[in-house]
Structure 1
Amino acid sequence: MKCNIGKTDRIIRVILGVCVIAVGVYYQSWWGAVGIIPILTAAIGWCPAYVPFGISSCKIKK
């Protein structure tokens, strides 16, 4: 697995994940568990949804 998530993308994913979890807790819904997905992808630095499209937000080091 090659890194395909950059620093800004990771920060956005963590914030989005925390917000989804918070909304799920507020409304007492299990859908808040979906917030774990962006947090995990940010933690490992790889997003499987980017692979088929060849997307990468990582800066290429030369």
Structure 2
Amino acid sequence: MNKNIGENDRKYRAIAGILFLLWGLSTGNAWGLIGFALLATAYLRWCPVYIPMDVDTTR
């Protein structure tokens, strides 16, 4: 599993993940689960969606 998420991408994902998570928890909305996915990809620095598109933001 090669890293394909750069520093800026990682920061934006973490911020968006926290916001989605807090929004989902405060409203009881299932869309808040997107926050978990964003935080996980930010932590792992690997996004499976980037693979078929051949995107690498670490460059």
TM-score by length of structure 2 reads 0.91
The alignment of Structure 1 onto Structure 2 pairs a total of residues equal to: 59
Which structure 1 residue ranges, 5 or more long, are not aligned?
none
Deviations 1:15-51 (A, max 9, x none): 0000101111121223212210010011111100000
Alignment partner, residue 24 of structure 1 = 24
- In structure 1, distance between residues paired with 2:11 and 2:37: 14
The equivalences for 1:1-62 within 5 A come to 1-59=1-59
- In structure 1, distance between residues paired with 2:26 and 2:53: 35
Which structure 2 residue ranges, 5 or more long, are not aligned?
none
TM-score by length of structure 1 reads 0.87
Aligned Cα root-mean-square deviation (Å): 1.0
Computing the radius of gyration over CA atoms, which structure comes out larger, 1 or 2? 1
The runs of 4+ residues in structure 1 deviating greater than 2 Å are: none
Q: What is the identity, as a one-letter code, of the residue corresponding to 2:12?
A: I
